[in-house]
Amino acid sequence: MTRPLEHDPAPPLDRSAGNRFDRMEWAGAFGDLGTLIPFMVAYISLLKVDPLGMLFVFGVTQIVVGFYYKTPFPVQPMKAIGAVATTQSAQTAVITPGAVYSAGLVTGLIWFLLGVTGATRKVANLVSRPVAVGIIMGLGFAFMFEGIKMMSEGWMLGGIALAGTLLLLTNRAVPVMFLILLFGAGAAVIENPALLNELAGIRPELRLPAWQLGALTWDEIVIGTLFLALPQVPLTLGNAIIAVTEENNRLFPERQVNEKKVSISTGVMNLLGSTLGGVPMCHGAGGMAGHVRFGARTGGAPIILGCVLVLLALFLSGSIETIFKIFPVPVLGVILFLTGGQLALGSCDFGKNKNDRFVSLTVAACSVWNIGLAFVFGMALYHALKRGWVRL
C-alpha cells in the first residue's frame, strides 16, 4: 500500500549506529543523479574536462564525507560555476578546464579561510530563519521545474517513470531507485539499439589521476576567480552552507553539523580536488534531499556512490560518455523532480508572523531565478519589515 510524500521521512538515528550499507542505502546513493550526471556530461562534452580527474575527485570526496558526517551528506558540482563554464556565458573571456581548476582553488581558499576564522558561522547567524526557509523552498521548486523541463524531452517516458515511481516510492522490498534505473536503461536500449553494441565494446583500462595545476596560466587564474569563483559565493552561502546545515539538522538532530564545519569541508575538498582535475564542488541541500527521498539514512549512501565513481574513474573513464547514455534525460528529470519535492516539503514549517511568511515566500520565488540575489534581497526585506520601513 502506498502513501504520499511525508514531511519528515528520516527519523533521527542513534549516533552509535554508524553507517549502513543495506539495500536502502544503495538505492539512496543514486538519488542525486538528476543533478550530478547532467553537469558531468556538460563538463566532459562541452568543456573537454578529463573525466578521470573529475570522477576520481568526486568519488574520493564522497567517501570521505560519508565517513566524516555519517549522514547522507551530499557532494555536488557548484551550479553557478558549472553553468557559466559549460555555456561560456562569461562572453568576454574563454573558459578553459584550467580556469575551472583555478576557480576550485580560489573557492576552496575562500571557504576554508571563512571556516577556520569562524566568519562563516558569524555570517550565518545573521541570516534570519524566514530567509533560510525561503531558500530551501525556492531551491526545491527550482529542482521541480528543471525536472519537468527534463521530462518534457520525452513526455511518454517521463510520465510512465514518474507514475511508477510515485506508486512504488515507499516500497521497501525492492527500492524504487533500482527499478527506475533499470526502466531507464531498458528504455535507452529500445530507443537506441546500437547502444548495446557500444556498451559491449567497452574495455576496462587502468588510468591514474595526475597533477593538473602545472600548466595553469595567469589568464586562467584571473578568469577562474572573476568569472567563476566570486559569483558563486552568495549561492554557496545560501544553498551549500546555510540550507544544507538546516536540512541536515532537521532530518538528523542526533548528528548535527554547523556552518563552520561545512565551510571548512567545502574548502578542503576544493583545495585538494582541483589539484587532480576536480571541478568546483559543494554540499548542496538538494543532494541531501535526493539521497533521503530514495532511502538513504546514513553516510553509507555517499560512500557507496563514491566507490562507484572511483571505480569508473580508474577503469572506465575513457568510456564514461557511453555509460551515461543508459540514463535517459526524462528519467533523470523524474529523480530531480522528486528531489525538489522532498526539499520543498522540508520548508513548510512557516512562522506565524505574517511578515516572516511573506519574506519566506518572496525569497522562495526569487530563489527559483537566482539564489544568491534572493539571499541578498531577502535579508534586506526582512530587516526593512522588522524596522517598519516596509508595511504589509
pLDDT digits (tens, 9 = 90+) for 300-321: 999 999 999 999 999 999 899 8
DSSP 76: E
Q: Check residue 87 and give its pLDDT.
A: 63
Residue 368: φ, ψ to 5°: -60, -30
User: Which three cell numbers mark 128?
Assistant: 534570519
Alpha-carbon gap, residue 152 to 223, rounded angstroms: 35
For the chain, how many residues are written? 392
- pLDDT tens-digit series, residues 177-196: 889 999 999 999 999 999 99
Of 108-117, 222-231, 280-289, 326-335, which gets the smallest average pLDDT?
222-231
Does 267 score more than 90 pLDDT? yes
Alpha-carbon gap, residue 321 to 192, rounded angstroms: 15
CB 281 within 8 A of CB 263: no
Nearest CA among 209, 215, 268, 234 for reference residue 101: 215
SS3 (DSSP) at 253: helix
CB 154 within 8 A of CB 384: no
Residue type for 210, please?
Answer: A
Does 240 score more than 70 pLDDT? yes
All residues at 6 or more sequence positions from 71 whose CB lies less than 8 Å from its CB, including other chains: 248, 251, 252, 255, 288, 297, 298, 299
The Cβ of residue 40 has, within 10 Å, a number of other Cβ atoms equal to 23
Does 382 score more than 70 pLDDT? yes
Alpha-carbon gap, residue 201 to 325, rounded angstroms: 14
SS3 (DSSP) at 169: coil
Alpha-carbon gap, residue 259 to 119, rounded angstroms: 9
Residue type for 357, please?
Answer: R
CB 168 within 8 A of CB 176: yes
Does 2 score more than 50 pLDDT? no
Alpha-carbon gap, residue 291 to 294, rounded angstroms: 6
Alpha-carbon gap, residue 108 to 269, rounded angstroms: 7
User: Which three cell numbers mark 249?
Assistant: 539538522
Burial class (CB in 10 A: 0-12, 13-18, 19+), 5: middle
Per mean pLDDT, which of 66-70, 90-94, 372-376 is the most reliable?
A: 66-70
Residue type for 34, please?
Answer: G
* Rounded percentage of the chain residues whose pLDDT exceeds 70: 92
The Cβ of residue 22 has, within 10 Å, a number of other Cβ atoms equal to 12
Q: Read off the pLDDT band of 153 (50, 70, 90).
A: very high
Quickly list H helices, the chain: 23-29, 33-47, 51-69, 79-87, 97-116, 119-126, 129-151, 155-167, 176-191, 194-200, 218-223, 230-235, 244-251, 259-273, 285-293, 300-316, 320-324, 329-345, 354-367, 371-386
Nearest CA among 259, 246, 9 for reference residue 136: 246
Does 214 score more than 80 pLDDT? yes
Of 72-86, 140-154, 245-259, which gets the smallest average pLDDT?
72-86
The Cβ of residue 342 has, within 10 Å, a number of other Cβ atoms equal to 27
Q: Read off the pLDDT band of 371 (50, 70, 90).
A: confident
Say how far residue 379 (Cα) sits from the centre of its chain. Answer: 24
Alpha-carbon gap, residue 225 to 162, rounded angstroms: 40
pTM: predicted TM-score of the whole model, two decimal places: 0.83
Q: Check residue 1 and give its pLDDT.
A: 33
Q: Check residue 8 and give its pLDDT.
A: 46
Q: Read off the pLDDT band of 7 (50, 70, 90).
A: very low
Q: Check residue 17 and give its pLDDT.
A: 59
Residue type for 64, please?
Answer: V
Q: Check residue 28 and give its pLDDT.
A: 93
SS3 (DSSP) at 281: strand
